[in-house]
Structure 1
Amino acid sequence: MNLDKSKKRIAKRAKMGFQGFPTISLTYYGKTTSHANEVMIEFVLEEGADTQVERFSSKIDAREDEVIQSAIVKMIERSEAKTVVQIDGVLIAA
């Protein structure tokens, strides 16, 4: 899937706000706030359920990695997530 198309689909779902469960949360991490070399995806099936975590790493910026962004879209679709939360910016990895 095209990188721009993937990013737009994720952003559109994130702008919808809370729509119920299941939920997927996306958090980008990096050594600096300008370069994300890792993305953490958290999936919650229902309220009170355990969180399932998946991480992807990239040598380039994970936000610009077509493979990672396409995989995120597929995870959203396959899990039938009603809510997508995308944390703005890049958090500094400890």
Structure 2
Amino acid sequence: MNVDKAHKRIEKRVKRGFQGYPMISIQYFGQSSELASKVEVSFIEQESAPAMAESFSSSTDIRQDETVQTTIIKIIDRVDAKTVTVAETVLPL
């Protein structure tokens, strides 16, 4: 899947807002806001359940990595996430 297409699919899910559980939360980490080298995808099945997290790392900007972005889409689809959130900033490592 094309990186731009993956970003659009994720953004479309984010724009829906909170629709209930299950919920996917995406957070990017890196040395600066221009270079995110790690992404953490957290899955919460129901309101009081603990979050399960999966992380991916890259030496380049992971937001432009087609394989990782496609994997995030597959995770969202596989768990049938009703809510998807993406943090607006890249957190420092």
User: What TM-score, normalized by structure 1, do the two folds share?
Assistant: 0.96
What RMSD in Å do the two structures reach over aligned CA positions? 0.6
Q: Runs of 5+ in structure 1 lacking a partner? A: none
For residue 88 of structure 2, give the secondary structure of its aligned residue in structure 1.
Answer: strand
Q: Show structure 1 runs of 4+ deviating over 3 A.
A: none
Q: Identity across aligned pairs (percent)?
A: 46
For residue 36 of structure 1, give the secondary structure of its aligned residue in structure 2.
Answer: strand
Residue 21 of structure 1: aligned partner: 21
2-structure distance, mates of 1:89, 1:8: 18
2-structure distance, mates of 1:81, 1:34: 28
For residue 67 of structure 2, give the secondary structure of its aligned residue in structure 1.
Answer: helix
User: What TM-score, normalized by structure 2, do the two folds share?
Assistant: 0.97
Residue 56 of structure 1: aligned partner: 56
* Superposed CA offset, 1:19-53 (max 9, x none): 00000000000011210000001100001011100
Residue 88 of structure 2: aligned partner: 88
Aligned pairs for 1:5-84 (under 5 A) are 5-84=5-84
